[in-house]
C-alpha cells in the first residue's frame, strides 16, 4: 500500500517516516568536504606548493616493507628509523583520530647550478642541490601550518562540524611519518627504483610535506602507475652500489648517509667512489630520464648561497669552525657538523687532481685536526702522492656516462 503525505520541508520526511534528516545532513557534509578539499588545494598552490593530494592512512604494505628493511640493518646507525614502534606507519598514533593525510610537494631544483659539470670537476665541491640554499624545514613547516590554519577556518565557515579537541599536525621529514608511501597514495607520483617519489610531469627534484587531519576529506583516487619500466640507470650510476635491488636502498653504502648521518670514519671502500661529493649525492636523480620534466624552484630561499654550487674544495677546507658556523647558519649543511665537514672535504681533496697546493693545505690542517679528521687527511695525502692512481682514476671517470 502506498501513502501520500504532504510535508512543508524536507526535515519533516524523517518524522513522517519517508526520509531521513541524516541522509540530508550527510549529503550536505559531503558537499562541504568536497568544497573544502578544492579550496585547500587552491590555497596550497597559493602558498607555493606545486601539487596537493589527499590520501587515507592505511600503510599496511609500507609497514611490512619498513620492517623488512630495518631487519636487514639497512638503516645503519639511524636508530630513530626504528624508534617509536609502529608510529611511522600508523599516523593515527601520532595524532589520534587522524583519518586523512594531505600530502604536498615543492620543487627545489635551483637553476643554472651546472650539476653535471660540478660532478665532473674534481676540484669543485659537490653539494646536494637541496642543500645549496636555506634549510627547507622551517620554510615548508611554516607554509604547512598556514595551510592547516586555513583548513580549520574554512571548515567552520562551511559548517563542517569539528570534533571536540580537533587538531591538525604538519610534518616535514622531521617526525616519524612515512611520507613517500603517503605521497604515492595521494597521487603525487610513484616510488621509483631509487626509492624516491617520481612524478611523470615533474621528475623527482622536490620536497614532501604532510598535514594530518581527522576531517574525512574526499580521497584522490588516481595514484600514478610505476613507470620506471626496464630502466635501471639510477641503480647502475650509484658510485657506491647502494641499491641491493630495485626499490631498496642500503643506507650504509649511500653517500648521503655517509657524509651527513654517519658521524664516524667513512670506510675506505667508499672514499674513492665518493669523488668530490662532500654533502649528499644526487647521481640517481641526475641520471633519471623523468627529470627532464623537472621544474626549477620558484623559492628564493632554495637558491645557492655563498657560491656553494661552484666553490673549490680547497677553499671550503680552509674554513675555520667559526666560519663554518657563520656561513651555514640557516643551512642544511649545519646538520653534518664541522668535524664531519672537514672529514668529507679531506676525502674530496684526496680524490682531486694532483696538486702541491692541496698537499700543503692537508699537511697544515693535519697539525690541529681531530683524530678522526686526521685519519682522512692521511688517506688524502696518500692519494695525492700516488700520481699513477690519479691517472687511472681520471681515465675511469672519463668513461662514466651521463
Q: Is 214 annotated as a binding residue?
A: no
241 is catalytic: no
Q: Is 173 annotated as a binding residue?
A: yes
Q: Is 360 annotated as a binding residue?
A: no
Q: Is 180 annotated as a binding residue?
A: yes
Q: Is 292 annotated as a binding residue?
A: no
Q: Is 231 annotated as a binding residue?
A: yes
Q: What is the per-residue burial (b if ≥16 Cβ within 10 Å, else e) of 349-362?
A: bbbbeebeebeebb
In this structure, are residues 177 and 218 in contact, taking their beta carbons and an 8 Å threshold?
no
User: Which residues neighbour 128 within 8 Å (Cβ) at sequence distance 6 or greater?
Assistant: 256, 277, 279, 280, 281, 282
Order of strands across the sheet with 100-107?
51-55, 100-107, 206-213, 168-171
In this structure, are residues 110 and 309 in contact, taking their beta carbons and an 8 Å threshold?
yes
Rounded to whole angstroms, the Cα distance separating 61 from 79 reads: 22
Collapsed DSSP state (helix, strand, coil) of residue 227: coil
Supply 191's cell numbers: 616510488
**Phi then psi dihedrals of residue 223, to 5 deg:** -60, 145
In this structure, are residues 229 and 167 in contact, taking their beta carbons and an 8 Å threshold?
no
Q: Which of 173, 226, 241, 378 is catalytic?
A: 173
Residue 44: which region, alpha, beta or left (left: phi > 0; alpha: psi -120 to 50)? alpha
In this structure, are residues 183 and 88 in contact, taking their beta carbons and an 8 Å threshold?
no
Collapsed DSSP state (helix, strand, coil) of residue 255: helix
Q: Is 234 annotated as a binding residue?
A: yes
Collapsed DSSP state (helix, strand, coil) of residue 113: coil
Instruction: Give binding residues for [4Fe-4S] cluster as ranges.
Output: 228, 231, 234, 238, 254, 281, 284, 288
Known catalytic residues are: 173
Instruction: Give binding residues as ranges.
Output: 88, 173, 178-180, 197, 208, 228, 231, 234, 238, 254, 256, 263, 281-282, 284, 288
Instruction: Give binding residues for cob(II)alamin as ranges.
Output: 88, 173, 178-180, 197, 208, 256, 281-282
Instruction: Give binding residues for tRNA as ranges.
Output: 263
Amino acid at each position: 500500500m502506498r501513502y501520500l503525505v504532504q510535508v512543508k520541508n524536507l526535515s519533516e520526511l524523517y518524522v513522517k517516516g519517508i526520509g531521513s534528516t541524516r541522509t540530508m545532513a550527510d549529503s550536505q557534509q559531503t558537499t562541504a568536504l568536497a568544497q573544502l578539499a578544492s579550496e585547500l588545494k587552491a590555497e596550497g598552490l597559493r602558498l607555493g606548493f606545486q601539487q596537493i593530494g589527499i590520501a587515507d592512512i592505511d600503510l599496511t604494505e609500507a609497514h611490512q616493507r619498513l620492517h623488512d628493511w630495518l631487519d636487514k640493518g639497512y638503516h645503519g646507525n639511524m636508530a630513530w628509523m626504528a624508534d617509536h614502534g609502529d608510529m611511522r606507519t600508523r599516523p593515527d598514533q601520532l595524532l589520534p583520530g587522524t583519518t586523512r593525510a594531505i600530502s604536498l610537494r615543492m620543487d627545489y631544483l635551483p637553476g643554472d647550478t651546472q650539476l653535471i659539470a660540478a660532478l665532473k670537476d674534481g676540484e669543485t665541491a659537490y653539494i646536494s642541490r637541496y642543500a645549496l640554499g636555506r634549510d627547507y624545514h622551517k620554510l615548508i613547516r611554516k607554509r604547512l601550518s598556514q595551510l592547516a590554519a586555513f583548513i580549520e577556518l574554512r571548515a567552520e565557515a562551511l559548517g563542517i562540524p569539528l570534533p571536540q579537541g580537533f587538531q591538525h599536525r604538519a610534518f616535514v621529514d622531521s617526525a616519524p611519518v612515512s611520507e613517500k608511501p603517503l605521497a604515492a597514495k595521494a597521487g603525487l607520483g610513484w616510488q621509483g627504483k631509487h626509492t624516491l617519489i617520481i612524478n611523470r610531469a615533474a621528475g623527482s627534484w622536490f620536497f614532501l610535506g604532510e598535514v594530518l587531519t581527522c576531517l574525512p576529506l574526499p580521497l584522490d583516487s588516481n595514484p600514478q602507475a610505476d613507470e620506471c619500466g626496464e630502466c635501471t640507470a639510477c641503480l647502475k650510476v650509484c658510485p657506491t652500489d647502494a641499491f641491493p635491488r630495485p626499490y631498496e636502498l642500503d643506507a650504509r653504502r649511500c653517500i648521503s648517509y655517509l657524509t651527513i648521518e654517519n658521524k664516524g670514519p667513512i670506510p675506505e671502500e667508499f672514499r674513492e667512489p665518493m669523488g668530490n661529493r662532500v654533502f649528499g649525492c644526487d647521481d640517481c636523480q641526475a641520471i633519471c630520464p623523468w627529470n627532464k620534466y623537472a621544474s626549477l624552484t620558484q623559492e628564493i630561499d632554495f637558491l645557492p648561497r655563498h657560491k656553494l654550487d661552484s666553490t673549490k674544495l680547497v677553499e671550503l677546507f680552509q674554513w675555520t669552525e667559526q666560519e663554518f658556523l657563520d656561513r651555514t647558519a640557516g643551512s642544511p649543511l649545519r646538520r653534518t657538523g664541522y668535524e664531519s665537514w672537514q672529514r668529507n672535504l679531506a676525502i674530496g681533496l684526496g680524490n682531486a687532481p694532483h696538486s702541491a697546493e692541496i698537499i700543503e693545505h692537508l699537511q697544515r690542517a693535519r697539525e690541529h685536526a681531530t683524530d678522526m679528521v686526521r685519519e682522512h687527511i692521511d688517506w688524502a695525502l696518500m692519494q695525492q702522492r700516488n700520481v699513477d692512481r690519479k691517472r687511472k682514476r681520471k681515465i675511469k671517470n672519463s668513461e662514466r656516462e651521463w
